[in-house]
Amino acid sequence: MRAGIAAILVLLLSAPFPSDPEKEVAFRWIEQNAATTRKVSLNIWSNPELALREFKSSRELIQYLQSNGFRVEKGVAGISTSFVASSGSGKPVIAIYGEYDALAGLSQKAEPIRSPLVEEGPGHGCGHNLIGAASAAAAVAVSRAMEAGNLKGTIRFYGTPAEEAAGGKNYMLEAGLFKDVDILLGWHPGARTQANFEYSKAVTEVRFKFKGVAAHASSAPHLGRSALDGVELMDVGVNFMREHVKEDSRIHYVITKGGGQPNVVPADAESWYYIRANKHQDVLDMFEWISHIAEGAALMSRTQVEIQVADDSHEVLPNRPLAEAIDRNLHLVGPPKFTEEERTLARKMQEPLKGNFQGAFAENIEPLPDQVAQGLYSTDLGNVSWNVPSGSLGVASYPFGAPIHSWQVAACAGMSIGQKAIDVAAKTLAGTAIDLFKNPALVEASKKDFQERKKGYNYRLLLPPNRKAPVFQEAQ
C-alpha cells in the first residue's frame, strides 16, 4: 500500500506539469492564430530590413499586437523602429523580446539552392523574422491566459531592433526601459532545440576612422597623406597581435571605406571591427591594444584616427531556475516535427556544406546541460541579462551543419522548416511566462541566482553616456 502511494507521489512529482488551464488557453490561442502569426513572419521575411531600418517589420509586429489589445509605445530610446507593447498592469512584469532585423548580402528565395531574391540584397540569414512573430504570439497568448485565469501583473513585448549591428537592446537599456522588468524571456532559431544554459561571447563593435590629405597620386603624391595607408597598417598590426591573444578571442573586420579611385590619395578611410572573447574583460584588454595599434598606424602614415565605439555587449549571464523552467515547458510542448519532404530539402541544402551530418535535422530536445556551456555567438541580450534575470531557448529551424548567417538559414526562415519553430517557441515562452505569473517563488529563485552570479563583478562598458543611435529615413 505504502509503495502504491509512493508510486503515485513519484508520478505526480515527475510529471512536468499537472493539467494547467492557463497554459491550455495560451496554447489553444497560438494554434488558432498560427496562420496569422506565420503570415506576419513571412511578411517580415519578404521585406528584409537592415539594423535600425526595420520600418515595415516593426509596423507589422505593432499592428499584430495592437489588434490583439496591446498598448504600444513606439519609437522608444530614440530609435524609430523600437517599441514596447504591454497588456495588464502592475507587478510582476514579465517580458518577452522579439528581434526582426536582417543581414546584408543574404537575400535568398525559399529554395534549397543558393538563389538570391535580390542580388546582394539583405536577407534573414539569422531567422529574426521568426523571432519577432513567435515572441509576439507568445505575449498575446499569455495575455489571453491572464484574462482567463485572472492572473495579476503585466505581460510586455519588447520590439528590439538592430541585433545584428548597433545593439538596439543596449540603447533601450540605457533609456531605462527595462528598469521595472522582473524577468525577460526570448528565443533564437538554431540547429538544435534546447533551453539555453550558457554564456555567449562578449563583443565590442568599433569604427576606426582615418583622416588624411587628398592629392593627385601621380603628380603630387608628396602632398598627400593616405587614410587608406592608416587602415592597412592598422589591420597588419592587428593581424600580428592575433598571435598573442587568448584562444577564445575573435577579431574580425571589414574595410567600409577605402577611397574612390587610385589616382586620388584617399583622404578618408575606415575599418569596422568586432572584437570578441568569452569574458568582457578580455574584450576590454584587446580593445585597448587595438586602439594603440590604430594610433601607431596613424603616426606611421601621418594621418589622424578617430575611434568610435558603436556597441559594447557583455557575455549573456545564464540563469539556472529560468533555464530549468524553459526546459520543463519545452518538454511539455515537444520539438518541431519535420516531414520526409522537409528532410529531403534539408539534405539538398547540406550538399554544399561538405560534412558528415547525422541526419537532416536535430529532431529531439537536447538535454539541459548541468554545467554552464559556452556559446560562440554574441548578442545584445548580454548587457540586459546583467540587469534583468533572463532566460532563452533555441529551436531547430534549419538543417544540421548549416552555419548561422548563411543562405540556408535565410531559405529555411521563409519555408515550412523554419515556420514550424514559431509554434514551439511561442508555446514554450508562453508556458514559462505563465509559470512565472503563477509561481512567485520561481521569480524569486531566478532573482537570487542572478544576484549570486553577479556578486563581486565590476560591470563596466566602453559606451559613452547619453549617446544617440544613428538615424535612418525610410525610403519612400
Retrieve residue 450's grid coordinates: 542572478
Q: Cα torsion at 448, 453, 455, 461 (round to 10°)?
A: -120
Query: Closest distance between Zn ion and the C-beta of residue 122, in Å?
Result: 14
The size of the interface with Zn ion (CB under 5 A), counted in residues, is 1
Between 22 and 101, CB nearer to Zn ion? 101
Query: Nearest CA to 102 among 132, 138, 137, 61?
Result: 132
For the chain, the 3-state helix, strand and coil shares in percent, each to the nearest 5, are: 45, 20, 40
Retrieve residue 468's grid coordinates: 544617440
Asked if 213 contacts 193 with a C-beta cutoff of 8 angstroms, the reply is no
Considering the rule CB under 5 A, would residue 417 count as an interface residue with Zn ion?
no
Query: Closest distance between Zn ion and the C-beta of residue 126, in Å?
Result: 3
Query: Closest distance between Zn ion and the C-beta of residue 379, in Å?
Result: 7
Query: Nearest CA to 67 among 36, 90, 94?
Result: 36
Query: Closest distance between Zn ion and the C-beta of residue 53, in Å?
Result: 16
Binding characters for Zn ion, 116-135, by CB under 5 A (x = yes): ----------x---------
Which residues 136-175 are close enough to bind Zn ion by CB under 5 A?
Answer: none
Q: Provide the residue type at 460 as one letter.
A: R
Please name the residue that has the C-alpha cell 532573482.
447
Query: Closest distance between Zn ion and the C-beta of residue 188, in Å?
Result: 6
Query: Closest distance between Zn ion and the C-beta of residue 377, in Å?
Result: 8
Query: Closest distance between Zn ion and the C-beta of residue 403, in Å?
Result: 12
Query: Closest distance between Zn ion and the C-beta of residue 342, in Å?
Result: 22
Q: Provide the residue type at 81 as one letter.
A: T
Between 126 and 172, CB nearer to Zn ion? 126
Task: Give 251-258's long-range contacts (Cβ < 8 A, gap of 24+).
Answer: 251/275, 251/276, 251/286, 251/290, 255/231, 256/207, 258/228, 258/231
Over 439-475, what HEC string results? CHHHHHHHHHHHHHHHCCCCCCCCCCCCCCCCCCCCC
Between 126 and 396, CB nearer to Zn ion? 126
Instruction: Give the CA distances from residue 451 to residues 320, 371, 445, in Å, rounded to whole numbers and listed in that order.
Output: 12, 18, 10
Between 335 and 394, CB nearer to Zn ion? 394
Between 328 and 405, CB nearer to Zn ion? 405
Between 126 and 322, CB nearer to Zn ion? 126
Between 126 and 214, CB nearer to Zn ion? 126
DSSP letter at 117 equals S
Between 49 and 435, CB nearer to Zn ion? 49
**Residues at the site binding Zn ion, with contacts judged by CB under 5 A:** 126
